[in-house]
Amino acid sequence: MNRPSLIAATCLGAAVLAVGGQAFAGQRTLVPLADAPGPETARIATRPLVTTEVYLNGTPVDGTHTAVAGGRGSLAVGLLFGPVGVLANAAHAEELNKKRAVPLDGFAHADTVGTLAAIRQASQPAPQGTRAYELMPIVTATFEDDKTFHVSCMITASLPDPNGKRPWRARYSVDTPGSYDATSQASIDQAGAAVSPCLAEANRLFEGHARGAMQLGETAKPVVINGRTVQLRVVDAEYPTHSIVPDMAGIMEWAAPVQPAAPVPPCACNPPAADAPKGS
């Protein structure tokens, strides 16, 4: 799956894509808040990822909080062979994701839980009481081709009930700018360095939402998604520094729009001297 195709598959699946400056009707508001004391009542999940917790057809890297996405099958196979073709495509995409994960071994096995724990310690006191949000950090490397990948991060928040079920959950996603080269260790290291600030921003979205600070404005604003400018409702209080929009199950932050350059003030220098009179 290339980067532009993520538009329909992520926040725009339910948050709504705008074309030609006109937003489609039906954009959802932010997912309702759980009845919980606040974001300080949160514990970080230490269990590894499972496939059902990864979206965008991502494949978890075993024993980690990292997923690799971007692998896809053949549309022709899916159309020709129906359900069997769909299963074959899914298996092919998973195998391709696993193959692309190999050079990212160090990136994938970084201590994502420890990174989020350090962020949470800096932003919130230790949880008190027994009822608490569970936060699952997820870092995704989405491949555009066999070489180029992008990094995004997500915190899935859920509120387990006494029976172990999760009647409320939401996710907080951040798409980082730039791309990385899976054939270059230096570039992979740069991707790793982008994870901590990305998770910190996802945690900020969670805390803001839990406190009721993430309120959507009524008017659509320009948002840059994968290099395209679309019109979406955003959290006005954060705009234009941050473009925060609802996705199908929470909040996603995309790139802030490029602001027009400030006009150049007129020159305050002395005007050029007039030509000397002829014959002088």
Q: What is the pLDDT of residue 45?
A: 87
Q: How confident is the model at residue 74, as a pLDDT?
A: 43
**Residue 115 within any structural domain of the chain:** yes
- Quick one: pLDDT at residue 14? 34
Who contacts 23 (Cβ-Cβ below 8 Å, separation ≥6)? 16, 220, 230, 231, 232, 233
Distance from C-alpha of 6 to C-alpha of 61, rounded to nearest angstrom = 21
pLDDT tens digits along 241-260: 999 998 778 899 998 876 65
- Examine residue 228 and state whether it is found in any structural domain, yes or no: no
Distance between CA atoms of 146 and 143, rounded to whole angstroms? 7
Domain span holding position 46: 31-213
Ranges of residues in the chain with a pLDDT under 50 are 1-28, 73-82, 84-86, 280
In a domain, 279, yes or no: no
pLDDT for res 180: 97
Whole-angstrom distance, CA of residue 223 vs CA of residue 262: 20
With respect to residue 103, please indicate whether it lies within any of the assigned structural domains.
yes
Does 158 reside within a domain?
yes
Q: What are phi and psi of 137, to 5 degrees?
A: -80, 135
Asked if 253 and 33 count as a contact pair (C-beta separation under 8 A), the reply is no
Q: Is residue 59 part of a domain?
A: yes
Report pTM. Answer: 0.75
Q: Work out whether the CA dihedral 208, 212, 217, 218 comes out positive or negative.
A: positive
Predicted confidence at residue 81, as pLDDT, reads 43
Residue 261: the pLDDT is: 53
With respect to residue 173, please indicate whether it lies within any of the assigned structural domains: yes
In this predicted structure, what is the pLDDT of residue 76?
Answer: 42
Domain for residue 64, yes or no?
A: yes
**Tens of pLDDT along 132-150?**
788 999 999 999 999 999 9
- Structural domains counted in the chain: 1
pLDDT at 189: 96
